[in-house]
Amino acid sequence: MRISKPRLRSTSIQCYLCLLLNSHFLTEAGIHIFILGCTSASLPKTEANWNDVMSDLNAIKNLIQSIHIDATLYTESDAHPSCKVTAMKCFLLELRVIFQETNNKDIRQAIDNLIFLANNSLPSDGNVTESGCRECEELEEKSVKDFLGSFTHIVQMFINTPSQ
Protein backbone atom coordinates (compact mmCIF):
# COMPACT_ATOMS: atom_id res chain seq x y z
CA MET A 1 0.00 0.00 0.00
CA ARG A 2 1.36 3.39 -1.01
CA ILE A 3 0.17 6.40 0.93
CA SER A 4 1.22 9.62 -0.68
CA LYS A 5 2.87 12.30 1.37
CA PRO A 6 1.25 15.68 0.96
CA ARG A 7 3.51 18.47 -0.20
CA LEU A 8 1.79 21.61 1.00
CA ARG A 9 3.17 24.96 2.00
CA SER A 10 2.98 26.00 5.65
CA THR A 11 2.16 29.68 5.81
CA SER A 12 2.59 30.06 9.55
CA ILE A 13 6.15 28.68 9.48
CA GLN A 14 7.06 31.12 6.72
CA CYS A 15 5.66 34.05 8.69
CA TYR A 16 7.55 33.08 11.84
CA LEU A 17 10.73 32.64 9.82
CA CYS A 18 10.27 36.06 8.28
CA LEU A 19 9.79 37.68 11.69
CA LEU A 20 12.81 35.85 13.09
CA LEU A 21 15.01 36.87 10.18
CA ASN A 22 13.76 40.43 10.28
CA SER A 23 14.44 40.79 14.01
CA HIS A 24 18.03 39.49 13.68
CA PHE A 25 18.97 41.07 10.38
CA LEU A 26 17.86 44.67 10.42
CA THR A 27 19.85 45.31 7.30
CA GLU A 28 18.86 45.82 3.72
CA ALA A 29 19.28 42.06 3.08
CA GLY A 30 17.10 41.28 6.10
CA ILE A 31 14.37 43.56 4.79
CA HIS A 32 14.51 41.86 1.37
CA ILE A 33 14.23 38.43 3.00
CA PHE A 34 11.29 39.66 5.05
CA ILE A 35 9.47 41.03 1.98
CA LEU A 36 10.12 37.88 -0.06
CA GLY A 37 8.97 35.66 2.80
CA CYS A 38 5.75 37.60 3.31
CA THR A 39 5.04 37.58 -0.40
CA SER A 40 5.63 33.84 -0.50
CA ALA A 41 3.30 33.30 2.46
CA SER A 42 0.48 35.15 0.72
CA LEU A 43 0.66 33.09 -2.48
CA PRO A 44 -2.10 30.51 -3.03
CA LYS A 45 -1.50 27.16 -1.40
CA THR A 46 -0.13 24.30 -3.45
CA GLU A 47 -3.10 22.10 -4.19
CA ALA A 48 -2.73 18.39 -3.78
CA ASN A 49 -3.70 16.13 -6.60
CA TRP A 50 -7.14 14.49 -6.68
CA ASN A 51 -5.47 11.42 -8.15
CA ASP A 52 -3.59 11.05 -4.84
CA VAL A 53 -6.93 11.25 -3.02
CA MET A 54 -8.26 8.51 -5.31
CA SER A 55 -5.18 6.39 -4.62
CA ASP A 56 -5.76 6.63 -0.87
CA LEU A 57 -9.46 5.91 -1.33
CA ASN A 58 -8.63 2.75 -3.29
CA ALA A 59 -6.19 1.71 -0.56
CA ILE A 60 -8.96 2.14 2.04
CA LYS A 61 -11.36 0.09 -0.09
CA ASN A 62 -8.82 -2.75 -0.35
CA LEU A 63 -7.99 -2.70 3.36
CA ILE A 64 -11.63 -2.64 4.45
CA GLN A 65 -12.40 -5.81 2.50
CA SER A 66 -10.50 -7.84 5.10
CA ILE A 67 -12.43 -6.49 8.11
CA HIS A 68 -16.08 -5.97 9.03
CA ILE A 69 -17.27 -2.50 9.94
CA ASP A 70 -20.87 -2.50 11.07
CA ALA A 71 -21.80 1.10 10.33
CA THR A 72 -24.16 2.99 8.11
CA LEU A 73 -22.99 6.31 6.79
CA TYR A 74 -24.75 9.33 5.31
CA THR A 75 -24.08 8.90 1.60
CA GLU A 76 -24.62 11.27 -1.32
CA SER A 77 -25.51 8.98 -4.22
CA ASP A 78 -26.44 11.48 -6.90
CA ALA A 79 -24.69 14.76 -6.22
CA HIS A 80 -25.14 17.46 -8.83
CA PRO A 81 -21.79 18.89 -10.03
CA SER A 82 -22.74 22.24 -8.49
CA CYS A 83 -22.91 20.49 -5.07
CA LYS A 84 -19.69 18.51 -5.24
CA VAL A 85 -17.85 20.56 -2.58
CA THR A 86 -20.77 20.16 -0.17
CA ALA A 87 -20.89 16.43 -0.95
CA MET A 88 -17.13 16.09 -0.44
CA LYS A 89 -17.35 17.77 2.96
CA CYS A 90 -20.06 15.27 3.99
CA PHE A 91 -17.97 12.34 2.79
CA LEU A 92 -14.96 13.59 4.74
CA LEU A 93 -17.05 13.95 7.91
CA GLU A 94 -18.48 10.44 7.51
CA LEU A 95 -15.03 9.02 6.78
CA ARG A 96 -14.16 9.90 10.37
CA VAL A 97 -16.81 7.38 11.49
CA ILE A 98 -14.85 4.62 9.75
CA PHE A 99 -11.72 5.94 11.47
CA GLN A 100 -13.45 5.61 14.86
CA GLU A 101 -14.87 2.16 14.08
CA THR A 102 -11.55 0.50 13.31
CA ASN A 103 -8.31 -0.13 15.17
CA ASN A 104 -6.48 -1.03 11.97
CA LYS A 105 -3.54 1.39 11.83
CA ASP A 106 -3.14 1.11 8.04
CA ILE A 107 -6.77 2.12 7.47
CA ARG A 108 -6.51 4.92 10.01
CA GLN A 109 -3.31 6.23 8.39
CA ALA A 110 -4.88 6.11 4.91
CA ILE A 111 -7.98 7.93 6.20
CA ASP A 112 -5.88 10.63 7.89
CA ASN A 113 -3.91 11.16 4.70
CA LEU A 114 -7.01 11.18 2.48
CA ILE A 115 -8.79 13.73 4.68
CA PHE A 116 -5.72 15.96 4.69
CA LEU A 117 -5.22 15.73 0.92
CA ALA A 118 -8.90 16.21 0.10
CA ASN A 119 -9.30 19.22 2.39
CA ASN A 120 -6.25 20.82 0.81
CA SER A 121 -7.40 19.94 -2.71
CA LEU A 122 -10.76 21.65 -2.37
CA PRO A 123 -11.02 24.89 -4.30
CA SER A 124 -9.95 27.99 -2.40
CA ASP A 125 -13.61 29.02 -2.30
CA GLY A 126 -14.41 25.75 -0.49
CA ASN A 127 -15.79 27.69 2.48
CA VAL A 128 -18.56 29.12 0.31
CA THR A 129 -21.87 27.38 0.87
CA GLU A 130 -23.32 25.91 -2.30
CA SER A 131 -27.02 26.71 -2.53
CA GLY A 132 -29.66 24.05 -3.06
CA CYS A 133 -27.48 21.20 -1.78
CA ARG A 134 -28.62 18.67 0.79
CA GLU A 135 -27.08 18.68 4.25
CA CYS A 136 -25.27 15.54 5.43
CA GLU A 137 -28.07 14.56 7.81
CA GLU A 138 -30.61 14.69 4.96
CA LEU A 139 -28.77 11.99 3.02
CA GLU A 140 -29.66 8.30 3.03
CA GLU A 141 -27.66 6.04 5.32
CA LYS A 142 -25.85 3.29 3.44
CA SER A 143 -23.32 0.53 4.07
CA VAL A 144 -19.58 1.23 4.14
CA LYS A 145 -19.20 -0.48 0.74
CA ASP A 146 -21.89 1.71 -0.87
CA PHE A 147 -20.46 4.78 0.86
CA LEU A 148 -16.98 4.13 -0.58
CA GLY A 149 -18.44 3.57 -4.06
CA SER A 150 -20.28 6.90 -3.96
CA PHE A 151 -17.21 8.60 -2.50
CA THR A 152 -15.21 7.34 -5.49
CA HIS A 153 -17.77 8.91 -7.83
CA ILE A 154 -17.45 12.31 -6.11
CA VAL A 155 -13.63 12.21 -6.28
CA GLN A 156 -13.92 11.39 -10.00
CA MET A 157 -16.09 14.49 -10.41
CA PHE A 158 -13.18 16.57 -9.08
CA ILE A 159 -10.65 14.73 -11.26
CA ASN A 160 -12.75 15.31 -14.38
CA THR A 161 -13.26 19.03 -13.68
CA PRO A 162 -10.68 21.22 -15.44
CA SER A 163 -8.52 23.32 -13.11
CA GLN A 164 -9.49 26.94 -12.87
What is the rounded CA–CA span in Å between residue 40 and residue 10? 10
pLDDT for position 7:
46
Residues of the chain with CATH 1.20.1250.70: 50-160
pLDDT at res. 127: 60
SS3 (DSSP) at 56:
helix
Q: Give bridge partners of residue 142 from the DSSP assignment.
A: 73
Could you say which architecture CATH assigns to the domain 50-160? Up-down Bundle (1.20)
For residues 154 and 79, is the Cβ–Cβ distance under 8 A? yes
CA atoms of 63 and 1, how far apart (whole Å): 9
Q: What is the model's pLDDT at position 150?
A: 95
Give 10-residue mean pLDDT values along the chain (164 residues): 49 54 58 57 58 95 88 92 92 95 93 94 69 92 94 93 63
pTM of the complete model beyond 0.85 = no
pLDDT at 9 (0 to 100): 46
pLDDT recorded at residue 70: 84
Q: Which pLDDT does position 11 carry in this prediction? A: 54
